[in-house]
Amino acid sequence: MATYKPVVVQAIPKLGERITQDTLYWRGYKTPVQIKEFGAVNKIDFSPVSPYNYAVTASSRIHIYGRYSQEPIKTFSRFKDAAYCATYRDDGNLLVAGSEEGSIRLFDLSGRAPLRQFDGPTKAVHVVGFLSDKYRIFSGGDDYSSNLWDIPSGTEIVSYNEHTDYVRCGCASKVNADVFITGSYDHTVKLFDARTEGSVMTIEHGHPVESVLLFPSGGLLVSAGGRYVKVWDVLKGGQLLVSLKNHHKTVTCLCLNSSGQRLLSGSLDRHVKVYSTTSYKVVHSFNYATSILSLALSPEDETIVVGMTNGVLNVKHRKPEERKENSQNKRQPAYRTYVKGRTYVPKQEDFCVSKPVKHVLRKYDKMLKSFQSSKALDAVLEPPIRLYTPEVTVAVMQELHRRGTLRSALAGRDEKQINLLLTFVARRVIEPRFTPVLVTVADMITDIYQPVVGQSAVVDRQFVKLQEAIGKEIDYQEELLEVLGMMDTLFATFTKKTATYVEEKKSNGLTETIETNMNN
Amino acid sequence: MVAPAALRVVRCGGSSFHGARAVFSADSKQVGPGPGPGPGYLLCASGDFVKMYSVATEETLRLMGGHADLVTGIQLNPHNHVQLYSSSLDGTIKLWDFMDGIPIKTFTVGSKLLALYALASFEDSVFVVIPKRGERATFQLVSVKLTKAAGQDLEAKELSVVLDGVDASPKSIAFGREGEYVASVKEIDLQVYFFKQKQLNRFSVSAAKTKSGNNQFTCIACHPTEDCIATGHADGKIRIWRNFYHKKEYIYSTLHWHHDTVMDLAFSVEGDSLLSGGVESVLVLWHNQSECEKDFLPRLGSPIEYISMASDGTLCCTLHTDNRITIINSNLRFARSIQGLIKSADIKTGLVVDPRTKALVLNGEPGHLQFYCLQSDQQLFSLDIVQRQYIHQAGLNQADLVKVAFSARGKWLATVEEREEVTDPELQLKLWFYDEEAQSFKLNTRINMPHEDQITDLCFRDMDELEDDSVILVTTGRDRVFKVWVIVEDTDPEAQQSVSWSCDFIGSYHNYQATNCCFSEDGSLLAVSFEETVTVWDSVTWDLKCTFCHPPGKIRNICFGRLTCSKYLIGVSDDGFLCCWNLLSCALEWSAHLNILVLQPDPLSEYIAAVSWLSKESSLFVFKPNEPRPIYIQRNLCREKIQLAAFIPRDEPETVGSEKYLWLRRSQLFFLTDTQELMTLSTKSLQERLTPASKQLAVEESLPVTPFSLLLGKHRRQQSQDDIDLGKLFVRNKCEQDSPAVKELLHTPAHVLPSASFLCPIFINSLLISKENKSAEEVADEVEMESEKPEDDSDEERDVTEMEQENTSPLELFGEMTCKLPKSQEKELRKIRKVDYSWISAF
- Is 50 exceeded by the pLDDT of residue A516? no
pLDDT of amino acid B727: 44
Q: Is B761 helix (H, G, I), strand (E, B) or coil?
A: helix
In this complex, do A10 and B301 lie within 8 Å of one another by their Cβ atoms?
Answer: no
Give the model confidence (pLDDT) of B782-801 as tens digits: 444 444 444 444 344 444 33
The backbone torsions φ and ψ at residue B231, rounded to the nearest 5 degrees and listed phi first, read: -125, 145
Distance from CA of B333 to the nearest CA of A (A): 10
Q: Is A406 within 8 Å of chain B by CB?
A: no
Of A54-68, A327-341, A348-362, B333-347, the poorest mean pLDDT is in A327-341
Band the pLDDT of A44: cuts 50, 70, 90: very high
The candidate with the shortest Cα–Cα distance to A224, out of A294, A300, A173, A147, is A294
By the 8 A CB rule, do B106 and B92 touch? Answer: yes
In this complex, do B393 and A276 lie within 8 Å of one another by their Cβ atoms?
Answer: no
- Is 80 exceeded by the pLDDT of residue B491? no
Nearest residue on chain B to A5, alpha-carbon basis:
B389
Structural domain boundaries in chain B: 8-166
Distance from CA of B301 to the nearest CA of A (A): 7
In this complex, do B493 and A283 lie within 8 Å of one another by their Cβ atoms?
Answer: yes
What gap in Å lies between CA A124 and CA A510, rounded to an integer? 41
Instruction: Let me know if domain B8-166 sits in CATH 2.130.10.10.
Output: yes
Residue A18, CA atoms < 13 Å, CB-side half-sphere: 12
Which of B296, B342, B389 to substitute to test the interface with A, most A CBs within 10 Å? B389
Nearest residue on chain B to A402, alpha-carbon basis:
B398
In this complex, do B396 and A278 lie within 8 Å of one another by their Cβ atoms?
Answer: no
Q: How large is the average pLDDT for residues B799-820? A: 41
Residues in chain A with CB shorter than 8 Å from the CB of B424 are 436-437, 439-440
Most confident by average pLDDT, A134-148, A319-333, B494-508, B781-795: A134-148
In this complex, do B300 and A22 lie within 8 Å of one another by their Cβ atoms?
Answer: no
Q: Which of residues 261-290 of A touch B (CB under 8 A)?
A: 276, 278-279, 281, 283
- Residue with more model confidence, B638 or A463: A463
The candidate with the shortest Cα–Cα distance to B417, out of B431, B406, B407, B430, is B430
The beta-carbon neighbor of B424 closest among A283, A369, A440 is A440
What gap in Å lies between CA A220 and CA A240, rounded to an integer? 10
- Is 80 exceeded by the pLDDT of residue B167? yes
- Residue with more model confidence, B826 or A325: B826
In this complex, do B300 and A404 lie within 8 Å of one another by their Cβ atoms?
Answer: no
Q: How large is the average pLDDT for residues B406-424? A: 85
% of residues, chain B, pLDDT over 70: 79
Q: How many CB atoms lie within 10 A of CB A268?
A: 18
The DSSP letter of residue B775 is H
Nearest-5° angle of CA B105, CA B108, CA B111?
Answer: 150
- Is 60 exceeded by the pLDDT of residue B817? no
Give the model confidence (pLDDT) of B6-37 as tens digits: 677 777 776 666 677 888 887 644 444 444 45
- Is 60 exceeded by the pLDDT of residue A93? yes
Residues in chain A with CB shorter than 8 Å from the CB of B389 are 4-5, 7, 368-369
Q: Is A436 within 8 Å of chain B by CB?
A: yes
Q: What sign results for the dihedral spanned by CA atoms A439, A444, A450, A452? A: negative
Distance from CA of B376 to the nearest CA of A (A): 22
In this complex, do A21 and B301 lie within 8 Å of one another by their Cβ atoms?
Answer: no
Give the model confidence (pLDDT) of B53-95 as tens digits: 888 888 888 888 888 888 889 998 888 888 899 998 888 899 9
- Residue with more model confidence, B433 or B733: B433
The beta-carbon neighbor of B301 closest among A2, A283, A436 is A2
What gap in Å lies between CA A224 and CA A263, rounded to an integer? 12
Q: Which residues contact B304 (CB under 8 A, 6 or more apart)?
A: B263, B264, B277, B278, B281, B283, B318, B319, B320, B321
The beta-carbon neighbor of B494 closest among A1, A283, A399 is A283
Residues in chain A with CB shorter than 8 Å from the CB of B419 are 402
The beta-carbon neighbor of A440 closest among B396, B423, B492 is B423
Residues in chain B with CB shorter than 8 Å from the CB of A440 are 423-424
The residues with which B430 forms a beta bridge, in sequence order, are: B415, B446
pLDDT of amino acid B835: 66
What gap in Å lies between CA A97 and CA A104, rounded to an integer? 6
Of B191-200, B256-265, B646-655, B682-691, the poorest mean pLDDT is in B682-691
In this complex, do B494 and A368 lie within 8 Å of one another by their Cβ atoms?
Answer: no
Structural domain boundaries in chain A: 23-317, 363-476
- Is 60 exceeded by the pLDDT of residue A198? yes
Residues in chain B with CB shorter than 8 Å from the CB of A242 are none
In this complex, do A437 and B424 lie within 8 Å of one another by their Cβ atoms?
Answer: yes
Q: Which of residues 353-372 of A touch B (CB under 8 A)?
A: 368-369
Q: Is A440 within 8 Å of chain B by CB?
A: yes
Which residues of B fall below an 8 Å CB-CB distance to A?
A: 297, 299-301, 326, 334, 337, 384, 387-389, 391, 393, 395-399, 419, 423-424, 448, 491-495
The candidate with the shortest Cα–Cα distance to B360, out of B645, B694, B674, B609, is B645
What gap in Å lies between CA A313 and CA A38, rounded to an integer? 10
Q: Which residues contact B511 (CB under 8 A, 6 or more apart)?
A: B480
The beta-carbon neighbor of A436 closest among B399, B424, B495 is B424
% of residues, chain A, pLDDT over 90: 42
Give the model confidence (pLDDT) of B735-790 as tens digits: 445 566 677 677 777 777 777 777 777 777 777 755 444 444 444 444 444 444 44
Average pLDDT across chain B, whole number = 78
pLDDT of amino acid B781: 47
Beta-strand relationship, B678-682 and B667-673? antiparallel
Using a 10 angstrom Cβ sphere, with 0-12 exposed, 13-18 middle and 19 or more buried, the burial of residue A518 is: exposed
- Is 50 exceeded by the pLDDT of residue A487? yes
The residues with which B633 forms a beta bridge, in sequence order, are: B621
By the 8 A CB rule, do B13 and B299 touch? Answer: no
Give the model confidence (pLDDT) of A136-185 as tens digits: 999 998 988 899 999 998 888 899 988 999 999 999 998 888 899 999 99
Give the model confidence (pLDDT) of B552-588 as tens digits: 888 889 999 888 888 899 999 888 888 899 989 888 8
The beta-carbon neighbor of B299 closest among A2, A21, A279 is A2
Distance from CA of B451 to the nearest CA of A (A): 15
- Is 60 exceeded by the pLDDT of residue B698? no
The model carries a pTM of 0.69
Q: b/e per residue, B104-116, with b = 16+ CB within 10 A?
A: ebbbebeebbbbb
Give the model confidence (pLDDT) of A4-39 as tens digits: 888 888 877 776 666 778 888 888 888 889 999 888
Residues in chain A with CB shorter than 8 Å from the CB of B391 are 402-403
Q: Is A7 within 8 Å of chain B by CB?
A: yes
Band the pLDDT of B657: cuts 50, 70, 90: low
- Is 90 exceeded by the pLDDT of residue A472? yes
Nearest residue on chain A to B337, alpha-carbon basis:
A1
Band the pLDDT of A444: cuts 50, 70, 90: very high
Nearest residue on chain A to B420, alpha-carbon basis:
A402
What gap in Å lies between CA A88 and CA A97, rounded to an integer? 9
Give the model confidence (pLDDT) of A371-404 as tens digits: 999 999 999 999 888 899 899 999 999 899 988 8
Distance from CA of A4 to the nearest CA of B (A): 7
pLDDT of amino acid B804: 41
Architecture of domain A23-317: 7 Propeller (2.130)
pLDDT of amino acid B35: 43
In this complex, do A279 and B493 lie within 8 Å of one another by their Cβ atoms?
Answer: yes
Distance from CA of B421 to the nearest CA of A (A): 10
pLDDT of amino acid A331: 52
The beta-carbon neighbor of B493 closest among A1, A278, A368 is A278
- Is 50 exceeded by the pLDDT of residue B810? no
The beta-carbon neighbor of B493 closest among A281, A436, A439 is A281
Residues in chain B with CB shorter than 8 Å from the CB of A10 are 448
ipTM over 0.85: no
Residues in chain B with CB shorter than 8 Å from the CB of A279 are 493
Calculate the alpha carbon distances from B363 to B404, B444, B446, B670 in Å.
9, 21, 19, 16
The amino acid at residue A204 is E
